């Protein structure tokens, strides 16, 4: 581990200048200290926001394809340092190295997407009702964008936001989770290197703010930051949303999920089971897209539960462990609090549970400072209120249903609306599901997690309504302007045929 740690921390060019006492960063792998950092003071943040405003004023006038070139170079940097950054992701947030690499790949993918986008920030021409008038819709840079990210995707979610914001002509201020500041500093160093050789990039184009709630709150409340893009719990979103709205700012919220997979009578279980497994136990159940609920047709529920139970047992016995080991499938939870949350959820469901497989802490003697758990599979006869809440841990509830109407009702009953999936070979069931799923993501024969960057990512209801990453999500990072031009020589006509003759 020391070699990995050293090589990965080398990515942070000026780490020594950021050392301090108030932010202790530990690896969830074994609890060892990775660094002690200094949190930003209110004055530091004030200065960073002012610098961000100045940077925006320069960057907005750089042609968008040139802005894209900067992002292209960032993508090249990420390709060159993929392995070290992936290892740092694993060290700091505990996801298995294969997923750490996947996360950096997701950054590279969004860089490529944003480069293409930098030549396609298309507006509209609109037909005017008046002669010799031209109507347009123009998209203009917005301003400094505040990015608040969570520990579980410590780098990819920043890249979704920053790459789009940068090609859109915005500057960025990033407040990463206080649990994963090192990966943020590493990304910042890589971007700094690219900016250093890029004449048009102003100082302060992208900056990191280190700290917790207080530091994030200062960003949220500052009206010089027109967009706050925040990823995290619904509780966090409930605090952020109204504060940004109160100052007429724009927020892009990507909050909790409570994602389900429906397994119909016609499902191909060779496709369904692996998808459920990855969605449930992948990233130790710490994705906002993780599969929490499996809603199975009553004729298949015994078979599906038995197959999942056997896989969960096997994973719990031999596949939980050091996330840097290539054979490990489930790394540690982020911290003790996450472990206690899992214990609490399993305790709360006990009275309703028909059967519980797995659960509980493991590998305590090998890693006394790490919180490793056996993934838990819980069989229920019906959905209970207890599972309306998201628990950020590998717990999967299996619930039977009789017909698709009932399945959809169970599916949509929870307050969150991020990701959903149906496993079926019946096109009618698939299309019905897509029409009635109340989530932002609705997949067929694909699990709930692991979305590609090309689609808009986000969800409805308590998930917050935001859309990030692909499709036309870039529009959140720009302001829309409607412009009407009259190029005639006669007295100008008024819209709606109004006469106003003096």
Main-chain phi, psi angles of 127, to 5 degrees: -70, 125
| HSE-CB of 43 using CA atoms within 13 angstroms | 0
Q: What single-letter DSSP state applies at residue 501?
A: -
Question: For residue 281, what are its two tokens?
Answer: 């136990």
151 vs 367 by CB, closer to ligand UN1:
151
Query: 44-76: string of b/e by CB count within 10 Å (b at 16+)?
Result: bbeebbebbbbbbeebbebebeebbbbbbbbbe
Closest by alpha carbon to 256, among 228, 277, 286, 281? 286
Residue closer to ligand UN1 (CB basis): 159 or 219 = 159
Among residues 234, 383, 449, 473, which is the contact residue for ligand UN1, using CB under 6 A? 449
Residue with Cβ nearer ligand UN1 (234 or 449): 449
Q: Give the angle subtended at the CA of 50 by the CAs of 48 and 52, to the nearest 5°.
A: 70
- Considering only CA atoms, give the Rg of the chain: 24
Closer by beta carbon to ligand UN1, 39 or else 110: 110
Stretch that binds ligand UN1, among 56-64, 151-159, 367-375, 404-412 (CB under 6 A): 151-159
Shortest-Cβ-distance residue relative to ligand UN1: 451
Distance CA 250, CA 233 (A): 18
Asked if 230 and 254 count as a contact pair (C-beta separation under 8 A), the reply is: yes
Closest residue by Cα to residue 148 from 119, 113, 177, 110: 177
- Token representation of residue 201: 């990039």
Residues 5-64 interacting with ligand UN1 (rule: CB under 6 A): none
Determine which helix (DSSP H) or strand (DSSP E) holds 80, and give its type and residue range: helix 64-80
Give burial (CB, 10 Å; 0-12/13-18/19+) of 157.
buried
- Here's the x/- map for ligand UN1, 261-290, by CB under 6 A: it reads as --------------------------xxx-
Residue with Cβ nearer ligand UN1 (204 or 450): 450
Judged by beta carbon, residue 9 or residue 442, the one nearer ligand UN1 is 442
Tell me the β-bridge partners of 296.
263, 400
CA angle, corner 11, sides to 10 and 14, nearest 5? 80
Looking at 34-42, 364-372, 447-455, 491-499, which segment touches ligand UN1 (CB under 6 A)?
Answer: 447-455
Least CB distance to ligand UN1 at residue 497 (A): 51
Please say which residue, 218 or 251, places its beta carbon nearer to ligand UN1. Answer: 251
Binding test (CB under 6 A) with ligand UN1, winner from 56, 59, 153, 372: 153
Return the number of other C-beta atoms located less than 10 Å from residue 314's C-beta.
11
Q: Which residues pair with 479 in a beta bridge?
A: 140
Q: Is 451 in the site for ligand UN1 (CB under 6 A)?
A: yes
Helix (H) or strand (E) holding 420: strand 419-423
Which string of DSSP letters, residue by residue, matches 155-178?
A: THHHHHHHHHHHHTT--EEEE--T
379 binds ligand UN1 (CB under 6 A): no
Q: How far is the CB of 155 from ligand UN1 (least distance, A)?
A: 11
Q: Which of 288, 390, 439, 462 is catalytic?
A: 288
Answer for which of 231, 264, 362, 420 binds ligand UN1 (CB under 6 A) is 231
Cα(67)–Cα(433) distance, integer angstroms: 41
**Site size toward ligand UN1, by CB under 6 A:** 11
Give yes or no: 103 in active site: no
204-212, 313-321, 425-433, 446-454 -> range binding ligand UN1 (CB under 6 A): 446-454
Among 8, 152, 259, 424, binds ligand UN1 (CB under 6 A): 152
Q: Is 150 or 225 the residue whose CB approaches ligand UN1 more closely?
A: 150
Could you tell me the two tokens for 98? 């294969």
Q: Does 149 bind ligand UN1 (CB under 6 A)?
A: no
Structure tokens of 367? 């890693």
Encoded one letter per residue, x for contact with ligand UN1 by CB under 6 A and - for no contact, window 91-120 reads ---------------x--------------
Question: 88, 8 in Cβ contact below 8 A?
Answer: yes
List the x/- string, 395-414, binding to ligand UN1 by CB under 6 A. --------------------
Instruction: In angstroms, give the least distance from the CB of 157 to ligand UN1.
Output: 6
| CA–CA distance, 164 with 469 (Å, rounded to integer) | 8
* Residue 251 interacts with ligand UN1 (CB under 6 A): yes or no: no
Q: Which member of 204, 256, 370, 450 binds ligand UN1 (CB under 6 A)?
A: 450
Can you tell me the distance from the alpha carbon of 271 to that of 304, in angstroms, rounded to the nearest whole number?
12
CB of 288 to ligand UN1, least distance (A): 4
Q: Would you call 389 a catalytic residue per the annotation?
A: no
To the nearest whole angstrom, how small is the minimum distance from the Cβ of residue 104 to ligand UN1? Answer: 12
Q: How far is the CB of 491 from ligand UN1 (least distance, A)?
A: 57
The binding site for ligand UN1 (CB under 6 A) comprises: 106, 152-153, 157, 231, 287-289, 449-451
Residues labelled as active-site residues: 254, 288
């Amino acid at each position: 581990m020391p070699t990995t740690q050293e090589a990965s921390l080398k990515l942070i060019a000026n780490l020594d200048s950021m050392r301090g006492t108030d932010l202790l960063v530990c690896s969830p792998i074994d609890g060892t200290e990775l660094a002690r950092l200094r949190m930003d003071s209110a004055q530091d943040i004030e200065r960073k926001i002012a610098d961000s405003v100045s940077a925006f004023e320069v960057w907005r006038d750089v042609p968008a394809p040139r802005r894209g070139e900067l992002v292209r170079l960032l993508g090249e940097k990420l390709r060159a340092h993929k392995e070290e950054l992936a290892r740092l992701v694993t060290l700091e947030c505990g996801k298995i190295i294969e997923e750490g690499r996947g996360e950096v790949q997701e950054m590279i993918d969004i860089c490529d997407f944003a480069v293409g986008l930098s030549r396609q920030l298309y507006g509209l021409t609109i037909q005017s009702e008046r002669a010799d008038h031209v109507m347009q819709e123009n998209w203009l840079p917005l301003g400094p964008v505040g990015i608040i990210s969570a520990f579980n995707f410590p780098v990819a979610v920043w890249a979704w936001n920053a790459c789009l914001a940068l090609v859109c002509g915005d500057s960025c201020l990033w407040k990463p989770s206080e649990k994963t500041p090192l990966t943020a500093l590493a990304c910042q160093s890589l971007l700094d290197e690219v900016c250093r050789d890029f004449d048009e990039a102003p100082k302060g184009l992208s900056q990191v703010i280190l700290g917790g709630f207080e530091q994030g709150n200062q960003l949220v409340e500052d009206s010089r930051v027109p967009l706050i893009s925040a990823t995290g719990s619904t509780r966090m979103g409930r605090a952020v949303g109204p504060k940004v709205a109160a100052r007429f700012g724009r927020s892009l919220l990507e909050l909790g999920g409570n994602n389900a997979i429906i397994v119909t009578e016609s499902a191909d279980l060779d496709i369904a089971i692996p998808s459920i497994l990855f969605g449930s136990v992948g990233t130790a159940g710490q994705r906002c897209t993780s599969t929490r609920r499996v809603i199975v047709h009553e004729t298949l529920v015994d078979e599906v539960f038995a197959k999942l139970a056997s896989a969960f047992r096997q994973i719990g016995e031999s596949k939980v462990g050091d996330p840097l080991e290539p054979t490990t499938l489930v790394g540690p939870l982020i911290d003790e609090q996450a472990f206690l949350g899992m214990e609490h959820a399993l305790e709360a469901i006990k009275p309703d549970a028909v059967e519980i497989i797995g659960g509980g802490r493991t590998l305590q003697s090998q890693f006394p400072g790490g919180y490793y758990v056996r993934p838990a599979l819980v069989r229920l006869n019906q959905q209970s209120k207890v599972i309306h809440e998201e628990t950020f841990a590998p717990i999967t509830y299996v619930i039977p249903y009789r017909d698709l109407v009932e399945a959809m009702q169970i599916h949509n009953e929870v307050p969150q609306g991020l990701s959903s999936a149906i496993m079926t070979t019946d096109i009618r069931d698939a299309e019905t599901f897509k029409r009635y799923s109340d989530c932002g993501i609705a997949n067929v024969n694909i699990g709930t997690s692991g979305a590609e960057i090309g689609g808009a990512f986000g969800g409805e209801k308590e998930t917050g309504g935001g859309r990030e990453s692909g499709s036309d999500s870039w529009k959140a990072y720009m302001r829309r302007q409607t412009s009407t031009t009259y190029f005639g020589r006669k007295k100008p006509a008024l819209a709606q045929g109004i006469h106003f003759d003096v």
